[in-house]
Structure 1
Amino acid sequence: MSGRRRKGNQSRARSRRRRPLPRPLARRLVLPGAALAVLVIASGAAVAHWGAAPGTPRAAADPAAPPGSPALVPDPQADESDASPPGRERRSPSAEAGPPNDPKPRITPSTEVPKPAKPSRKAAPPPAVPASGPGTFATARSAGSPVGAGQVRRYRVQVENGIAVSAEEAATEIERILAHPQGWAANGKGSFQLVTGDADFVIRIATPATADALCRRQGLNTRGELNCETTDGVVVNLRRWMLGSPTFAGTPAEYRHLIINHEVGHEIGLRTHMGCPGPGEPAPVMMQQIKGLDGCRSNAWPYDEDGTYLTGPVIE
């Protein structure tokens, strides 16, 4: 009897374990479990939010991600066109493309060594002019054709021996001066011809001491600086021929035009000198420009480019 009771009790116990729980009881058991799971997830999110840097945007929790999966942080510079496929972590562009572009221009120091400035060329010193010479002369062994129209005046060129100017070079330059378009011959004041023999007048280039001696014979004091007219021609001071004049705003070569035009002007009959016609006007060649310009401009030719004779008041 007792044995049958024990078997009956065991079978009833097994049937009770297999019997489903009543619905209200099942609900009471499921709801606390779900609440516990939500609490765990919320706690994890709060911890992750607390550990993140302020202001860092975070992606919403992926409900499909398994528990414990790392949350993906979206790239703040990404747009829809370069978004990564779902489930693949996006790499930061800075990690792949190197450092970002700096909007400020970077100045790279130049490695080029600056070249030193070239020293400016100093003006050549004026040529040395000997104070005196032997007093003898060499005659230019060259002859030319008459230049200009009208009465022909023949001239000979002589240069004192022992100086740096040759007679042939001087004769060539004087011939060119007398043929200048603004000179005497080109404007109807006669014709001039370079010769080696008999001449109507002689042009001599002499050292200052020799020039003074030749001019003194005519009663003229040239003081080692000036030119003069003599009974047989013209004496040109070597200092003026080589250096020009301190009052003349031009080169020595241009001043040589003034010397020849002035002295030949005396040879063609202009025995007097002229003064300045007015401030700013070109000085006449028959003005003694070496003694001052009196407001005029330096000028080396008897005529201007239009063929007008440049004159001024006569000075006795």
Structure 2
Amino acid sequence: MEVPLHRCLRRHHRRRRGPARRAAVGLSLRLLLVALVAALLPSAGAPARAAGDEPLPSLTQVRAPAIDGVRRFGRTLTADPGRWQPTPTTVRYRWYRDDVLISGVTSRSYRIRPDDVGHRISVHVHAEAPSYRRTVGTARTGLIAHRVDVRRTVRYSVRSKGRVPAVLGTFSRLAQQTYDDPRGWRGRGVRFVRVPSGGAFTLWLAEARTVPGFSSGCSAEWSCRVGRNVIINLTRWRNASPAWNRAGGSLRDYRHMVVNHETGHFLGRGHVGCPRRGAPAPVMMQQSKGLDGCRFNPWPTLAELRR
């Protein structure tokens, strides 16, 4: 009996397709087995879990951390780590100003800095113990205050004399920064408020040649104070002094110093000398001319603030 040609071809294809199909099925089963084994085994480098495949528990905070100390510039804050269960074997500290990390401070104590005034300080306590996950507790202060409260408010105005280029605005701004700085006379309780005109004194930025015109006791070389006039020599403001520059002092620090020095005269302070070799120079020392063994210092010393 003859078999049609198309039936022969169909049988031939089925005989050839059978082994290929079995091979494909076998390969699929092997791949499925490999995937299943990989899913059951921990991957390389994956962190080990506690017994029973449960994540490590956190420490229990029995008493929250706190910050002890007076919240004023110049004082020191100390972190109380609180109480934890179990007791941590390691406690680390990170300090923040308005939630921004203060770089390089990792001890339990923190000495308040000038930039902290008017801001809040917080500490993050990192507690660790074996078989427990690192747990963090936080404490925060209120606003940091100046060294002392305001005891006296002094109003002043700013003027120029002679050919002063367009630096008076910068001069006014930087002078006010000096007056507001917690390291300056503000630490004595004196608050300086700039007014458009008048005030208790006038702060001048004066071309060097005009300075002697305020008094025969003033010279074109230095800054000066005459009565209610606090005069900053433009040449000194621009360039500092030769002695200051030889010692590598910064121009910004010189400007702090000269404003504090001449304003100190207005506040009734006279010139003083170096208290001892290697000590910070009092701001009322004539640092523009030399140091006599002291170190350049643009701010009133604690002794000057307490006097």
Determine which structure has more spread, i.e. the larger CA radius of gyration.
1
